[in-house]
């Protein structure tokens, strides 16, 4: 009997230590954006699963923030604009992805220099609770326009590209969705290309509690991101074929073109760190 009790005690101790060593699931959200493709690559390769990391592919930046705000996920990929909407001091960027250099854009299907000829308002479609709106405000201010000439519609990008447009329309969008809009005679009128005043940076955000809980998984996630970028550099076609199911309707030619419109900043240099201060984006590298 004593031997049985001793064996049971040893088994319970073993189970306890095994359960303590198991990684708790880390849930992160990312929408379909070219800058998040390293995450998609790591997910498709099974690297995330091996570390008990679950990637949730959302339809918009706003959905990612909502999931985080309601405690359904532990971290989310977004820009500094969505981060600012949280208004939380305990949340900060723990990994950077990219700086947009043309991949966020405004597209139109009418002659821009003749906006005053339309008696009816121009329809403007965008994800209102996202960096889309920041770009829209920058555009109207830069061109001395009034918001009153626009009817603003809040839709996610997947809904926007499926609509048919028969009247003058402005769309705020980003890669990969621009490729589909180009097929329907939409042209780029403004973007983040070479803009010194419009800075858009994508990062992975989380809070102090979740960072402490999942620190090693976050560190591993960064190494996966860097490894994915190595694969992209060595064999972009293989990389694209691996992630294409995450970006429906996107062609390799579109992908190649849009890669020229972002700058990878996973390991930020001093210039990027200066930009982070300008846009007031707190960043703490995990080690």
Q: Which mean pLDDT values do the consecutive 10-residue runs of the chain (287 residues) have?
A: 51 43 88 98 99 98 97 98 95 98 97 70 96 96 92 97 96 97 96 90 98 98 99 98 94 97 98 96 95
Do 20 and 67 touch, CB atoms closer than 8 A? no
**Taking CA 69 as the corner, what is the angle to CA 67 and CA 72, rounded to the nearest 5 degrees?**
40
pLDDT for residue 12 = 45
How far apart CA 167 and CA 110 sit, in angstroms, is 8
How far apart CA 69 and CA 64 sit, in angstroms, is 9
pLDDT for residue 16 = 44
User: Collapsing DSSP states into helix, strand and coil, what is residue 105?
Assistant: strand
What is the separation of C-alpha 203 from the centre of its chain, rounded to a whole number of angstroms?
7
- Which helix (DSSP H) or strand (DSSP E) does residue 140 occupy? helix 131-142
Task: Confirm whether pTM is higher than 0.75.
Answer: yes
pLDDT for residue 267 = 97
pLDDT for residue 8 = 53
Report which of 131, 126, 134, 179 is spatially closest to residue 150, judged by C-alpha positions. 126
- Show the domains of the chain with their CATH numbers: 26-99+199-278 (3.40.190.10), 104-191 (3.40.190.10)
């Amino acid at each position: 009997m004593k031997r049985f009790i001793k064996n049971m005690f040893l088994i319970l101790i073993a189970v306890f230590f095994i359960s303590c060593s198991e990684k708790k699931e880390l849930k992160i959200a990312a929408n379909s954006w070219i800058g998040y493709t390293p995450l998609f690559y790591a997910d498709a390769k099974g690297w995330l699963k091996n570390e008990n990391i679950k990637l949730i592919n959302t339809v918009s930046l706003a959905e990612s923030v909502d999931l985080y705000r309601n405690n359904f996920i532990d971290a989310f990929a977004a820009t500094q604009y969505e981060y600012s909407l949280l208004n939380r001091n305990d949340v900060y960027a723990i990994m950077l992805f990219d700086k947009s250099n043309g991949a966020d854009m405004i597209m139109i299907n009418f002659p821009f220099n003749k906006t005053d000829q339309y008696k009816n308002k121009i329809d403007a479609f965008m994800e209102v609770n996202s960096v889309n709106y920041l770009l829209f405000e920058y555009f109207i201010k830069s061109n001395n326009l009034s918001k009153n000439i626009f009817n603003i519609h809040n839709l996610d990008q997947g809904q926007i590209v499926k609509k048919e447009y028969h009247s003058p329309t402005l769309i705020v969008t980003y890669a990969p969705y621009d490729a589909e809009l180009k097929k329907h005679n939409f042209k780029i009128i403004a973007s983040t290309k070479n803009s010194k005043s419009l800075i858009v940076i994508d990062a992975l955000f989380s809070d102090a509690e979740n960072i402490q809980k999942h620190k090693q998984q976050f560190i591993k996630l960064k190494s996966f991101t860097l490894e994915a970028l190595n694969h992209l550099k060595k064999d972009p076609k293989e990389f694209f074929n691996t992630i294409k199911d995450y970006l429906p309707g996107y062609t390799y030619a579109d992908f190649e073109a849009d890669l020229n419109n972002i700058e990878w900043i996973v390991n930020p240099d001093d210039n990027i760190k200066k930009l982070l201060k300008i846009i007031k984006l707190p960043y703490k590298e995990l080690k």
